[in-house]
Amino acid sequence: MRRCLLFAAALAFASLPAAAQQLAATPPMGWNSWNWFAGKVTDADIRKAADLMVSSGMRDAGYVYVNIDDTWEGKRDANGNITTNEKFPDMKALADYVHSKGLKIGIYSSPGPRTCARYEGSYGHEEQDAKTYAAWGFDYLKYDLCSFGKIMRDTHPNDFAAQNQMMRDAYTKMHNALVKTGRPIVFSLCQYGFDQSWQWAPSVGGNLWRTTDDIRANYDSMILIGLSQAGMSKFSGPGHWNDPDMLEVGNGKMNHDENISHMTMWSMLAAPLIAGNNFTEMNDDVRSILTNKEVIAIDQDKLGHQGDRVWAGEETEIWARPLADGSVALAVFNLANNRSTMRGLSLHLHEAGFTGGAAHARDLWEHKDLGLIKDTDVFTIPRHGAVMLKLTK
């Protein structure tokens, strides 16, 4: 079974354009300004985020992109070139500063005339904007559908096929503009999974693409999005990733166990790990979850095969993910709302590819070798918590 998965992943990777294979060979990791700062983000905030990514150990754990979201944009000059507003006085200097920290930097725009926050979009200026981003030194572009949706609907009322083709063409146009600059820029499609984006996004140059609506900083939103990714593993792989949206670890009211489930699920999904918390208020618990190198290693596994559901009960789901070294990552989620713990749970090792119902296991959250485990072994999982194991024969 694992040989077949290895071959399929290699075939999918080989079919991508060379540029896509080189970019985002593993899921991008970094931080985005929107979840915490929203429209208030400034040059100083981005510099501070870069500083804290280094001092907190986030950079050394693999988080390298510092991404500016919406509201940086100013007006266009007489030649149609995009400028910044007063919050970002010198984008080239900011990019240079981020790069000096051993990090990369990302920017945001829309294929429409306006971004979601009603700032200047890239409509009709795709090549100009791509050239500007490259000159400033940017490494990543998040391209958010926003006002282009209205153009699609107004141009082709009630013709959804034609609207969807317009959307694909708009993303292709910006991809081609980015390639033309000659600078490697990761292309992140943000269009909320419309028209089953996972089926066509690689063909328009996407390195990652949103599969759902926006995540919110609570357990119900997070787990609903995570579980909805079941069955989508065949659309993801090196250079092209399903994106269930940014991490909310450290935001909202999610407790320790819910944050563990969040990080576990995103790592099982080979999802981009784009943090969205406030580093200035990050406590040791949140830091330890975001920087757990054993869990991150699952997300960043070179095989790039997204995990999938192998068993589901009324209040439990078990997901498995084949890894490049022949081992398997196994995650067990306690979805119960009314009970504090769940005991005596079968791990369904056979469904995860282990005949005989036994495997050698390492607990990736406890950093502990468990020796030989069997389906009959008892695991205690807190409400809304998860166990994450690495299994070998």
Specify whether the CB–CB gap between 320 and 383 falls below 8 A. no
* Dist. CA 262–CA 259, nearest whole Å: 5
Half-sphere exposure of 183 (CA within 13 A, CB side): 21
Specify whether the CB–CB gap between 308 and 363 falls below 8 A. no
- Cα distances from 79 to residues 129, 188, 237, in angstroms, run 12, 27, 40
267 CB neighbour count, 10 Å cutoff: 26
Please report the DSSP string for 286-322 in residue order.
HHHHHT-HHHHHHHT-TT-PPPEEEEE-SSEEEEEEE
Specify whether the CB–CB gap between 150 and 160 falls below 8 A. no
Residue in this structure with the two tokens 């006085």, named with its chain if needed: 89
Residue 378 buriedness (CB in 10 A; 0-12 / 13-18 / 19+): exposed
Q: How far is CA 285 from the centre of its chain?
A: 21
Q: Measure the CA dihedral 257/259/261/267, to 10°.
A: -150
Residue in this structure with the two tokens 């909320």, named with its chain if needed: 192
Strand partners, 312: 317
Residue in this structure with the two tokens 């399903």, named with its chain if needed: 242
- Of the residues 129, 144, 243, 245, which is catalytic? 144
Strand partners, 308: 320
* Dist. CA 121–CA 112, nearest whole Å: 6
Q: Mapped to the 3 state alphabet, what secondary structure does 162-231 carry? A: HHHHHHHHHHHHHHHHHHHHCCCCEEEEECCCCCCHHHCHHHHCCCEEECCCCCCCCHHHHHHHHHCCCC
Specify whether the CB–CB gap between 382 and 254 falls below 8 A. no
Decide the pairing of beta strands 358-363 and 341-342. unpaired
- Of the residues 214, 257, 308, 363, which is catalytic? 214
Residue 214 is a catalytic residue: yes
Q: Which residues are identified as catalytic? A: 144, 214
